[in-house]
Amino acid sequence: MTSASRWSSPWWLHATAIPDFRSEQGALARQNELTKPPGSLGMLEEVAIKFAAWQGQVKPQIQLPQCVVFAADHGVVAQGVSAFPQAVTVEMLKNFIAGGAAISVLARFHQMGLTVVNCGTAIPCEYLQGVIHRPVAAGTEDFSLQAAMTNEQAQQALDIGAEIIDQLEVGSDLFIAGEMGIGNTSAATCLAAMILDLPATALVGPGTGVTGENLHHKQQVLAASMRRAKEFVESPLQALEQVGGFELGAIAGAYIRAAQRGIPILVDGFIASTAALLAVQLNEGARDWMLFGHQSAEPGHARVLEALDAEPLLQLNMRLGEGSGAATALTIVKQALALHNEMATFAEASVSGQHLVSEAE
């Protein structure tokens, strides 16, 4: 049992790990000795320095990256807020395992571990082998009419994430959370809007491809849901209860536990970033372990990234989820580390260093 007992604070409030400052300084010094003008590799330098701090070594490496896709269904789809039917959630679970989904391909490409977790689908799928089954319920309630979940269910969702991180193979050195759940752009939109105190209309977008009249309808459903839920929300956990989803809670829990265990996090798109926002609301130390892979085409993502003071590595107009944007960014991260670890220093290559240094520096 990982949730709060009567006497102790809940696990998600426990301190996160502290990145190693000496390794960070060592990596910064190394970057300035490599055969290039200082700073010329831009964000790639920052990425390598971050990983040095996270791994406590001047030459960091990624050897065992892990992607975990958390899946769940959403009662609010009864209001017609997704372009696809609810059955797709479970159908895609099969596709993840069979190896045909985008994230399956990218995980193979990177030789990255791929774990799929059922957090609660409307259509039963416990017969599916190769999926970890932790259903909280058969999907959330329709949050346009009532709370998406109870307080106990919200805590259960957070616990699933922590359990999964605790079960990762020893030596896992990068964590990507993916998600699958028809209707979850609606849940993420309302959750982010609730946390940021913005109207849902400031964040809402097409998700799977809701456009025109249908997008207008989605906006109205989400605005009404916010009006219903607002009076019940005084804490981030209550925001999850009112308008969240089981997979969103599980991802937030996984991020917090990864930060507590010192496992670097590569955050995916709008949905994953909204779970990151929830995680940081619950435990601000989680932010120290996050790197952001890409900026999704889903319009709300820009606001969520801004609130997290996050600068994503890529902007490719992707809007899929599953962890696919983060997995794509992993290529850039690996290249950043290869350059940092393998480039020659000025001394090693007998290259002359900088001779014009401005007074201001």
Does residue 185 belong to the site contacting ligand NIO (CB under 6 A)? yes
- Residue 320 engages ligand RBZ in binding (rule: CB under 6 A): yes
CA distances 141 to 71, 73, 191, 239, 253, Å, are 15, 9, 15, 14, 21
CB of 207 to ligand NIO, least distance (A): 5
Binding residue (CB under 6 A) for ligand RBZ from 45, 73, 173, 179: 179
Among positions 207, 293, 300, 323, the unique one binding ligand RBZ when judged by CB under 6 A: 207
Among 48, 58, 92, 286, binds ligand RBZ (CB under 6 A): 92
State in angstroms the smallest separation of the CB of 203 from ligand RBZ. Answer: 12
From the CA atom positions of the chain, what is the Rg in Å? 21
Partner that binds at residue 143, options ligand RBZ, ligand NIO, none, CB closer than 5 to 8 Å by kind:
none
Stretch that binds ligand RBZ, among 11-19, 124-132, 141-149, 202-210 (CB under 6 A): 202-210
Using CB under 6 A, pick the residue from 27, 34, 136, 182 that binds ligand RBZ.
Answer: 182
Residues pairing with 117 in the sheet: 70, 132
- Identify the active-site residue in 247, 311, 322, 348: 322
C-beta closer to ligand NIO: residue 55 or 189: 189
- How many residues bind ligand RBZ (CB under 6 A)? The answer is 19
Per CB under 6 A, contacts with ligand NIO among 8-47 are: none
Q: Is 180 in the site for ligand RBZ (CB under 6 A)?
A: yes
Q: Is 241 a catalytic site residue? A: no
Q: For residues 106 and 79, what is the distance between their CA atoms, to the nearest angstrom?
A: 33
**Residues in 84-143 that interact with ligand NIO by CB under 6 A:** none
Q: C-beta of 35: minimal distance to ligand NIO in Å?
A: 38
Which span sits near ligand NIO by CB under 6 A: 132-140, 196-204, 228-236, 295-303?
Answer: 295-303
Separation between Cα atoms, residue 325 and residue 292, nearest integer Å: 9
Q: Nearer to ligand NIO by C-beta: 208 or 214?
A: 208
183 interacts with ligand NIO by CB under 6 A: no
Assign 3-class secondary structure to the chain: CCCCCCCCCCHHHCCCCCCCHHHHHHHHHHHHHECCCCCCCCHHHHHHHHHHHHHCCCCCCCCCEEEEEEECCCHHHHHCCCCCCCHHHHHHHHHHHHCCCHHHHHHHHHCCEEEEEECCCCCCCCCCCCCEECCCCCCCCCCCCCCCCCHHHHHHHHHHHHHHHHCCCCCCCEEEEEEECCCHHHHHHHHHHHHHCCCHHHCCCCCCCCCHHHHHHHHHHHHHHHHHHHHHCCCHHHHHHHHCCHHHHHHHHHHHHHHHHCCCEEECCHHHHHHHHHHHHHCHHHHHHEEECECCCCCHHHHHHHHCCCCCCECCCCCCCCCHHHHHHHHHHHHHHHHHHHCCEHHHHCCCCCCCCCCCC
Instruction: List the one residue out of 98, 274, 83, 108 whose CA is nearest residue 177.
Output: 274
Contact string (CB under 6 A) for ligand NIO, positions 312-331, x = contact: -------xxx----------
- Exactly one of 298, 305, 308, 336 binds ligand NIO (CB under 6 A); that residue is 298
Q: Is 88 in the site for ligand RBZ (CB under 6 A)?
A: yes
Closer residue to ligand RBZ in complex, CB, 172/208: 208
CB nearer to ligand RBZ: pick between 31 and 242: 242
The contact set with ligand NIO (CB under 6 A) reads 185, 207-208, 268-272, 296, 298, 301, 319-321
Chain contacts with ligand RBZ (rule: CB under 6 A):
82-84, 88, 92, 179-186, 207-208, 210, 320-322
Catalytic residues: 322
